[in-house]
């Protein structure tokens, strides 16, 4: 049994408009659309936008880092994103960091990184970044949840590398989660695996049950050891919301 990272899901007041921003920002077309979700397909995962009525109330605990190939490329990416509707954001990063923090049109924070060799040629998204109270413990849990190996770690960070696409990284933060995450991860069992058995495996690894008002849904909502909600999807679908 194994699950893999399938989606990064973003709550949105206007999923189509926000997906349009990210499609243009990343240079990737919208790959799926219905009344319940709009997807932008990326190497290794889909970026999925789903409708919610609740407003954003705190800094996101999950965000994207975008890659660049040079200082000139980073500046050009930032300028293009600002033209598309992004705006500068202050998350306490200070003036000396080499990356640029922006927010998308609905206020979701993200970073445009300076050139880093480990992300060269990876595609537009360098990393999916999760705030963690214990980065190594979280990385070990998510290695179990995604099947990605723990690739590297430091005193306050740890990284998982997939076969393709963005890294999955955990950065220590003292911030306390106050509300349901605006951005969350979905994992999916591999074809032929047993959904209930994979849910049980993740519960044994340190997840807990979570209720985000999902009702009678075809997926199972859990929370990781830091309380971040995530979904365990059925093995196959065209739509993450219906599970068909």
pLDDT in tens, 65-92: 999 999 999 999 999 999 999 999 999 9
Alpha-carbon distance of 87 to 223, in angstroms, equals: 31
Q: Could you tell me the two tokens for 46?
A: 């889909």
pLDDT beyond 90 at 211: no
Which residues pair with residue 7 across a beta bridge? 46, 186
Stretch (H or E) spanning 19: helix 15-26
- Domains plus CATH for the chain? 3-232 (3.10.180.10)
Q: What is the pLDDT of residues 20-56, one digit of tens each?
A: 999 999 999 999 999 999 999 999 999 999 999 999 9
Of 60 and 162, more confident: 60
- pTM (two decimals): 0.94
pLDDT for 163 equals 84
Mean pLDDT value across residues 97-124: 96
- Phi/psi for 127 (5° steps) reads -155, 150
Alpha-carbon distance of 67 to 239, in angstroms, equals: 28
> Mean pLDDT score of the chain, rounded to an integer?
93
Mean pLDDT value across residues 101-116: 98
pLDDT beyond 70 at 200: yes
pLDDT for 220 equals 94
pLDDT for 243 equals 44
pLDDT beyond 60 at 213: yes
pLDDT beyond 90 at 104: yes
pLDDT for 1 equals 64
With a pLDDT cut of 90, the percent of the chain lying above it is 84
244: confidence class by pLDDT, cuts 50, 70, 90 = very low
Alpha-carbon distance of 148 to 144, in angstroms, equals: 7
Contact between residue 239 and residue 231 where contact means Cβ atoms under 8 Å apart? no
């Amino acid at each position: 049994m194994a699950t893999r990272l399938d989606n990064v899901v973003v709550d949105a007041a206007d999923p189509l408009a926000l997906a349009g921003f990210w499609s243009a920002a990343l240079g990737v077309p919208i790959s799926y659309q219905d009344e319940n979700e709009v997807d932008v397909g990326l190497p290794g995962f889909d970026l999925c936008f789903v409708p919610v009525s609740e407003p954003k109330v705190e800094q996101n605990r999950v965000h994207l880092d975008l890659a660049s190939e040079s200082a000139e490329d980073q500046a050009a990416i930032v300028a293009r994103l600002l033209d598309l509707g992004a705006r500068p954001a202050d998350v306490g990063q200070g003036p000396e960091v080499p990356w640029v923090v922006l927010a998308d049109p609905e206020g979701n924070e993200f970073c445009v990184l300076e050139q880093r060799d480990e992300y060269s040629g990876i595609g537009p998204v360098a990393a999916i970044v999760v705030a963690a109270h214990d980065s190594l413990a979280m990385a070990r849990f998510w290695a179990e949840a995604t099947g990605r190996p723990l690739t590297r770690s430091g005193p306050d960070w740890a990284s998982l590398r997939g076969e393709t696409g963005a890294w999955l990284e955990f950065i220590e933060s003292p911030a306390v989660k106050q509300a349901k995450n605006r951005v969350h991860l979905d994992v999916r069992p591999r074809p032929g695996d047993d959904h209930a058995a994979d849910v049980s495996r993740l519960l044994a690894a340190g997840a807990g049950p979570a209720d985000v008002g999902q009702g009678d849904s075809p997926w199972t909502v859990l929370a990781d050891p830091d309380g971040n909600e995530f979904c365990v999807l059925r093995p196959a679908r065209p739509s993450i919301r219906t599970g068909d």
